Each structure stands twice: as structure tokens, then as C-alpha cells.
Amino acid sequence: MTDARHIETTAFAAIKASVRAGYLTTGRDTRLASYLREMAVNVEDCELGAGSKRRALFVIGESGSGKTRSLQHHFATMPEFRPYRNEHGETVSPVLSIDAPRPCNTKALAITILTAMGLPTRERMTEHALFAILKSQLRERGVKFLHVDEMQHVMRHNTASAIRHVQDTLKSLTQITDWPLHTIYSGVSELAELLKGDPQLANRSRVLRYDALSCPADAQWIESILQKVATEGCGLTLSAELLEGDFPEKLCLAGNGAFGSMIAMVQEACFRALERERKSVSIKEFARNYERDTGCLPRDNVFTAARWRDLVPGHALVDLA
């Protein structure tokens, strides 16, 4: 590889890394930040002996809606959630974030959390013993916020008794003696089942929905993706068809209204244009990537089909079925 080609490749990689690392906000970020700030204040109130019992937050939205990315962003930018040095000079991370294993039950969840803290476990240990160690270690390590992503995996056993057991387990985590642990659970709509039929858990929780975006109501946020990613991030101009009024609706349909998925689609279209040394991004890049990602026939391509509003992205492979 020549030096010029190497520099060019390195510069392209740097652009991709910078664009992917960028964070785009929506109105949901204001609400999420508010909820997280309330939790942080309540931690302090609990330490003074007068905290609220609402110590759990459920962030619920479909895959690709941006839940995990939003939480990671706010954990990293809000001072209350950043690592700090204690009086002994030790680094303390107030947030512990894990992915629920799949398949998952409450015992597997305890093992995953303990493993994330670097603690050994034994499969033959009882669930009661695991949670006793877990609660003690959360206190010892200064973890005040426990975030479990993909929490719907714990709903593998959906019998009434199994759900009650999960509900009781979650409540117990916010009732650790002399420790103000607050919990955050993110996942898809199945997660809402945990809040049904248990007034105690519901009364201890807040819920933030990450609903799908729609057009024209949310067109401004979709247009902001194009501006931030294509123009500001990649230095590309937008071709005429991307400036037409129905393009945000096409992008919204292709991404099933999921904000995170739409961001990824715009990023990949722009990277495709840059790779081909183009100065602008056009609908051709979107159409080609959509075909590649879904396996759809040309007549079923949301970005180019004449009757695109009649298409259902989830049915892209229906002809094969």
C-alpha cells in the first residue's frame, strides 16, 4: 500500500470512528436526564434517611430505538454517574452496567453481575447465597446504580409464579440494608410484563418509553440525523431527492421508526458515498444498503419503489417463505 493510499484509508477510518462516536439528541434525552438526576438526588436523600422508595427506572423501547446508547451517553456525561476517587485514593464507579444473559433467570442474573465485578462464583451455590454476596459487594464497592440491559431475557419463564419471583427479586435489590442502590432496567416491550400485577414494584418504579418515531410528527429529528451525520460529520452535500419532503418518511419506514436504526442507516449510506469518493450522498446509497441488509427484491425497496408506502420492511423475504 502506498503512503498516499495508507493516509487516505486512515483518514476514512478516522471519519467513520468520529461519526459513530457522535451522539445525536432528541426530546427523550431531556426526560432521561431528568429521571437520572432525580435518582441521583434520591440517593443523597436516602443517605440522609429520607429518600423516596422509587428506586427503579424501566426504559422500554423496541430494538434499535437507542435506549442503550442514550443511557451510556448520560452515564458518561452526568457528574453523578462518573467514576471518582474516594478518600483512600481508590477509583469508585457508582454505575455497574451489564447485559442480561440469554437465556436468563434470577440466579443467572446474579452470577452475571458478580462476574462483572470480578468475583468468582460456583454454579452449585444457591440463589439466596448468591444474592447475599451480591448485595454485600455492591455496598462494599460503592455501586449505587445497577443497570441491566436486555432485561426482557429474564422473562424466559413467563408463568405467574416465575414472574412474581422476578418481581420480588427486583424489589429486594432496592431494599439493601444501609445502602441506597437504585436500579435501571432497559429492554423491549416484554419488559412491561414485570410491572403488571405487582403494585409494590410499580410504586417503586418510573417508566420511560422510547416510542417509535413517525412522520410528519418527528420529521425534524429525522432531518437532524441527515444534517449531523452527512453534512457535519462526513462533509457531504445532500442530493436533491434527500431534500424532498417524503424522504424522512421513507427513512422512518425503512428503520421501523427506531431512532438508533435510522442513524446507522444514514451513517452507512454516507460511508458508502465516501468510499466511492463522492461529494454528495444520494438515495442510491440508501437503496443499495437497504437491499443488502434486508435481501429485498428491487420492487420491495422502500427507497426506490413507486408504492413504497404499501411496503412492510419485515416482509422483505416473504417471497422466499
Q: Are residues 135 and 280 in the same domain?
A: no
Residue 224 lies in a domain: yes
Residue 270 lies in a domain: yes
Sorted by sequence, the CB contacts under 8 Å of residue 291 that are 6+ apart come out as 298, 301
Domain C-terminal end among 185, 210, 235: 210
- The cell for 290 is 437497504
Domain C-terminal end among 180, 210, 240: 210
Q: What CATH number is given to the structural domain containing 48?
A: 3.40.50.300
- Strands 56-61 and 205-210 turn out to be parallel
- Strands 237-238 and 84-85 turn out to be unpaired
Residue 3 lies in a domain: no
Domain C-terminal end among 175, 210, 245: 210
Residue 174 lies in a domain: yes
Q: Are residues 125 and 31 in the same domain?
A: yes
The region that residue 256 occupies, defined by phi over 0 for left and psi between -120 and 50 for alpha, beta otherwise, is left
- The cell for 246 is 417524503
Q: Using one digit for the tens of pLDDT, what is the confidence trace for 161-189?
A: 888 999 999 999 999 989 999 999 999 99
Query: Residue 6 has what pLDDT?
Result: 53
Q: Are residues 123 and 174 in the same domain?
A: yes
Residue 32 lies in a domain: yes
Torsion angle defined by CA atoms of residues 115, 207, 201 and 63, in that order, rounded to the nearest 10 degrees: -50
Q: What counts of helices (H) and strands (E) characterise the chain? A: 11, 9
What angle, rounded to 10 degrees, do the helices at 106-116 and 160-173 form? 30
Domain count, the chain: 2
Q: Are residues 186 and 290 in the same domain?
A: no
Q: Are residues 151 and 226 in the same domain?
A: no
- The cell for 250 is 421513507
Among residues 179, 123, 102, which one has the least CA distance to residue 146? 179
Q: Is 72 helix (H, G, I), strand (E, B) or coil?
A: helix
Residue 153 lies in a domain: yes
Query: Residue 5 has what pLDDT?
Result: 53
Residue 17 lies in a domain: no
φ, ψ of residue 246 in degrees (nearest 5): -95, -5
Q: Are residues 158 and 240 in the same domain?
A: no
- Stated pTM of the model: 0.90
Helix (H) or strand (E) holding 280: strand 280-281
Q: Are residues 222 and 120 in the same domain?
A: no
220: domain range? Answer: 214-313
Give the pLDDT of the chain (321 residues) as one tens digit per residue: 455 455 467 889 999 999 999 999 888 999 999 999 999 999 999 999 989 999 999 999 999 999 999 999 999 999 999 999 999 899 999 999 999 998 888 999 999 999 999 998 887 899 999 999 999 999 999 999 999 999 999 876 668 888 899 999 999 999 998 999 999 999 999 999 889 888 999 999 999 999 999 999 999 998 999 999 999 999 999 999 999 889 999 999 999 999 999 999 999 999 999 999 999 999 999 999 999 999 999 999 999 999 999 999 988 888 886
Q: Are residues 48 and 195 in the same domain?
A: yes
Sorted by sequence, the CB contacts under 8 Å of residue 166 that are 6+ apart come out as 106, 154, 155, 194
Q: Are residues 37 and 181 in the same domain?
A: yes
Helical segments of the chain, H only: 3-21, 27-47, 67-77, 106-116, 127-140, 160-173, 199-203, 219-225, 247-254, 259-275, 283-294
Q: Are residues 38 and 104 in the same domain?
A: yes
Q: Are residues 185 and 278 in the same domain?
A: no
